[in-house]
Amino acid sequence: MMRFSGITPSGHTQLGNYLGAISRWAADGGAEDLYFVSDLHAMTTTHNPAGLRGRATEMLAVLIASGIPAERVFVQSDLARELGALTWILECTCSYGEAARMIQFKEKAKGQAGVRLSLLTYPVLMAADILLQGASDVPVGEDQRQHVELARALARRFNSTYGEVFTVPRAVLPHAGARVRDLADPTRKMSKSTRDSAGVVFVLDEPELVRRKFRKAVTDGESVPAYQPEERPGVANLLEILAVCTGTTPPEVAGQYRSYGALKDAAADAVIETLRPVRERTLELLDDQEELTRIRKAGAARAAERGEHRLSSALRLIGAG
Ligand code: AMP
Ligand code: TRP
Tell me the per-residue pLDDT of 112-159, one tens digit each, with 9 for 90 and over. Answer: 999 999 999 999 999 999 999 999 999 999 999 999 999 999 999 999
Could you tell which of 7, 10, 12, 17 is best to mutate to test the pocket of ligand 1, judged by most ligand atoms within 8 Å of the CB?
Answer: 17
Asked whether residue 129 falls in the same domain as residue 244, the answer is no
| Residue 178 maps to a domain | no
Considering only CA atoms, give the Rg of the chain: 21
State the pTM of this model. 0.96
Asked whether residue 77 falls in the same domain as residue 139, the answer is yes
56, burial (CB in 10 Å: exposed 0-12, middle 13-18, buried 19+): buried
Does 192 participate in catalysis according to the annotation? yes
Ligand 2 touching residue 33 (CB < 6 A): no
Question: In this predicted structure, what is the pLDDT of residue 177?
Answer: 60
- Look up the domain containing 69 and give its range: 4-172+289-318
Element (H, E) at 5: strand 4-7
Does 264 participate in catalysis according to the annotation? no
**Lowest-pLDDT choice from 55-69, 113-127, 175-189, 242-256:** 175-189
Nearest CA, atom 10, ligand 1? 140
Question: In this predicted structure, what is the pLDDT of residue 218?
Answer: 97
Asked whether residue 238 falls in the same domain as residue 294, the answer is no
Distance of CA 295 to the CA centre of its chain: 20
DSSP state of 181: B
Residues of the chain with pLDDT > 70, as a percent, come to 99
What is the per-residue pLDDT across 65-93, written as a single tens digit (0 to 9) for each? 999 999 999 999 999 999 999 999 999 99
Distance of CA 182 to the CA centre of its chain: 16
Does 108 participate in catalysis according to the annotation? yes
Angle at 273 between CA 272 and CA 274, to 5 degrees: 95
Ligand 1 touching residue 59 (CB < 6 A): no
Asked whether residue 115 falls in the same domain as residue 230, the answer is no
Mean pLDDT computed over 98-115: 95
CA distances (Å), origin 158, targets 1, 60, 204? 21, 32, 42
How many Å lie between the centroid of ligand 2 and the Cα of residue 269? 31
| Residue 159 maps to a domain | yes
| Residue 184 maps to a domain | no
How many Å lie between the centroid of ligand 1 and the Cα of residue 16? 6
Confidence of residue 173 (pLDDT cuts 50, 70, 90): very high
The answer to whether 30 touches 1, Cβ cutoff 8 Å, is yes
The answer to whether 171 touches 145, Cβ cutoff 8 Å, is yes
CATH number of the domain at 250, please: 1.10.240.10
| Residue 188 maps to a domain | no
CATH number of the domain at 92, please: 3.40.50.620
Between CA 245 and CA 240 the distance in angstroms is 9
Asked whether residue 242 falls in the same domain as residue 226, the answer is yes
Asked whether residue 25 falls in the same domain as residue 85, the answer is yes
Ligand 1 touching residue 140 (CB < 6 A): yes
| Residue 186 maps to a domain | no
CA distances (Å), origin 253, targets 19, 103, 223, 239? 17, 37, 15, 6
Whether the per-residue pLDDT at 176 is higher than 70: the answer is: no
Task: Centre a 10 Å sphere on the Cβ of residue 133 and count the other Cβ atoms it contains.
Answer: 21
By three-state DSSP, how is residue 267 classified?
A: helix
Query: In 3D, which of 75, 68, 76 has the Cα closest to residue 30?
Result: 68
Between CA 317 and CA 319 the distance in angstroms is 5
Please state the domain count of the chain.
2
Asked whether residue 165 falls in the same domain as residue 215, the answer is no
The answer to whether 211 touches 276, Cβ cutoff 8 Å, is no
Asked whether residue 263 falls in the same domain as residue 295, the answer is no
| Residue 123 maps to a domain | yes
Query: In 3D, which of 142, 167, 161 has the Cα closest to residue 2?
Result: 167
| Residue 308 maps to a domain | yes
Question: In this predicted structure, what is the pLDDT of residue 121?
Answer: 98
Asked whether residue 167 falls in the same domain as residue 149, the answer is yes
The answer to whether 190 touches 201, Cβ cutoff 8 Å, is yes
Ligand 1 touching residue 185 (CB < 6 A): no
| Residue 179 maps to a domain | no
Helices (H), the chain: 15-17, 23-28, 49-65, 80-91, 96-100, 103-109, 117-133, 145-162, 207-215, 233-246, 250-254, 260-287, 289-318
Between CA 172 and CA 58 the distance in angstroms is 26
Confidence of residue 19 (pLDDT cuts 50, 70, 90): very high
Between CA 293 and CA 312 the distance in angstroms is 28
Asked whether residue 227 falls in the same domain as residue 314, the answer is no
Asked whether residue 230 falls in the same domain as residue 259, the answer is yes
One of 106, 110, 192, 264 is an active-site residue; which one?
Answer: 192
Ligand 1 touching residue 42 (CB < 6 A): no
What is the per-residue pLDDT across 253-291, written as a single tens digit (0 to 9) for each? 999 999 999 999 999 999 999 999 999 999 999 999 999
Asked whether residue 168 falls in the same domain as residue 310, the answer is yes
